[in-house]
Amino acid sequence: MDALARSLADTGLPHPLLVDAARTAIADGSPEGVEERARRHAHAAARALLQPVVNATGVLLHTNLGRAPLAVTADAAYTNLELDLSSGRRGSRHAHAAALLARLCGAEDAIVVNNGASAVLLVLAALATGRGAAVSRGELVEIGGGFRVPEVMEQSGAKLVEVGTTNRTRLADFASAAENPANDTALALKVHQSNYRIVGFTEHVTMAELASLGVPAVADIGSGLVDAACPWLADGPPAWLAGEPAARQSLADGAALVTFSGDKLFGGPQAGIIAGRADLVQRCAHHPLARALRPGSLVLNALQQVTLAYMRRDGEAIEFWRMASLTTSELESRANAVTTEAGAGEVAEMASVPGGGTLPGVEIDSYGVVLDGDHTASLRAGTPPIIARVSESRTWLDLRTVAPADDHHVIAALKAIG
């Protein structure tokens, strides 16, 4: 077995994994062909490891592919994570990225947790345990993985107070709930319908209206747009962002707190941000759950770098916004170059989507390469794997989500397909 494992050393896997591959191959059958079987198992083990892929799906925030692509480097070094360099005393991990995020959002204070759902959970636990939290029935959403707002609320210890109807909720509904002593309403929660739309005979309550209730109004904007004005983009906000709630504007409209994800429209690592009134943020920060939900220095460093790019108004440094801002002429030119060099495929107009549970129904004009037939399996089998989509018995590779530096991988794959 050891000899068989050593014969697989060229795969680059550590010896214990090669031993596992050898053991499985031997158990599979006769000695004949055992090395070939062992190599297949080793290859499968390598493919199961986390690794870079080329996203040619046109989904900018593809949840299965890690949502926002992020290029952040960190040397092997200690950091001043919880050290105040001025005094030499213990500091706070909220003094770095979180402080910058508060400044960016126009908030008094902010803290960071490990994802968007955690941010909502912590706010509810810190501000409404044993008390009521009023939510419109039209905003009792289910996010990816089957997690639902009522279930998150139950785990937080808050009591769900449903108001309005699925399609129509008015300020009077919230006011009635807040005035009812039986509800003991601690806050009103507005949840962004980021992954679905209710259209037709509808009515909803604005954040400015909610802020007039007399209880803290919390805006879970989910997708993570920082500022509707998009000052980091030279041409301002793109048309496809119209109507998307943003942290700065929600706070300006009276939200006591906003919560959002770090790896969606913000373009950073997976994280949850809570920003707003200092007294409420501090109640969250001092809740026992805050320690269980806090991120480490790698996430905070990545958030800090992305936040500094926003503050420099350098959208090009944030990969999501660089991709989202590409013009169709740029993409068409790249598609022509790819098909010409590969000698395969056709240039085609395409429609990218934001993805990641954001902006449902929104499409962004794009260009890419299309091939007859389903070639997704062979594209995934390459190095690096290329993830494409199939529609109408054709394979579509949208170049909006392919980094220009990866075009040569697409060309090589097209040549191999022939």
User: Looking at residue 271, which CATH number applies to its domain?
Assistant: 3.40.640.10
Task: Kindly state whether residues 176 and 309 are assigned to the same domain.
Answer: yes
Residue from 125, 100, 351 nearest 226 by CA = 100
Residue carrying the six token digits 């790019």: 309
For 109, the 3-state DSSP assignment is: strand
Neighbours of 223 (CB within 10 A): 23
Contact partners, residue 27, CB within 8 Å, separation at least 6: none
Domain-located, residue 141: yes
Domain-located, residue 135: yes
Residue from 123, 311, 155, 351 nearest 220 by CA = 123
Task: Kindly state whether residues 314 and 344 are assigned to the same domain.
Answer: no
CB 377 within 8 A of CB 307: no
Distances (CA, A) of 261 to 16, 151, 356: 38, 19, 10
Look up the domain containing 358 and give its range. Answer: 54-68+326-417
Residue from 116, 115, 110 nearest 97 by CA = 110
Task: Kindly state whether residues 273 and 306 are assigned to the same domain.
Answer: yes
Domain-located, residue 364: yes
Task: Kindly state whether residues 97 and 144 are assigned to the same domain.
Answer: yes
CB 182 within 8 A of CB 207: no
Domain-located, residue 230: yes
CB 136 within 8 A of CB 291: no
d(CA 151, CA 190): 16
Task: Kindly state whether residues 196 and 102 are assigned to the same domain.
Answer: yes
Domain-located, residue 175: yes
Task: Give how far the C-alpha of residue 378 lies from the chain's centroid of Cα atoms, to the nearest Å.
Answer: 27
- Among 256, 288, 318, identify where a domain stops: 318
Task: Kindly state whether residues 254 and 109 are assigned to the same domain.
Answer: yes
Structure tokens at 341: 């060099």
Task: Kindly state whether residues 219 and 340 are assigned to the same domain.
Answer: no
Domain-located, residue 165: yes
Domain-located, residue 131: yes
- Among 318, 345, 377, identify where a domain stops: 318
User: Looking at residue 400, which CATH number applies to its domain?
Assistant: 3.90.1150.180
Task: Kindly state whether residues 350 and 407 are assigned to the same domain.
Answer: yes
- Among 318, 348, 371, identify where a domain stops: 318
Task: Kindly state whether residues 267 and 342 are assigned to the same domain.
Answer: no
In the chain, the number of structural domains is 3
Residue from 286, 283, 400, 251 nearest 335 by CA = 400
Residue carrying the six token digits 């496809």: 240
pTM: 0.92
Task: Kindly state whether residues 353 and 302 are assigned to the same domain.
Answer: no
Taking phi over 0 as left and psi of -120 to 50 as alpha, with beta for the rest, 222 belongs to left
Q: Give pLDDT tens digits along the chain (418 positions).
A: 889 999 999 999 999 999 999 999 999 877 888 999 999 999 999 999 999 999 999 999 999 999 999 887 778 889 999 999 999 999 999 889 999 999 999 999 999 999 999 999 999 999 999 999 999 998 888 766 666 788 888 889 999 999 999 899 999 999 999 999 999 999 999 998 766 677 888 888 999 999 999 999 999 998 889 999 999 999 999 999 998 999 999 999 999 999 999 999 999 999 999 999 999 999 999 999 999 999 999 999 999 999 999 999 999 999 999 999 999 999 999 999 999 999 999 999 999 999 887 888 899 999 999 999 999 999 999 999 999 999 999 999 999 999 999 999 999 999 999 7
Task: Kindly state whether residues 21 and 118 are assigned to the same domain.
Answer: no
Task: Kindly state whether residues 307 and 343 are assigned to the same domain.
Answer: no
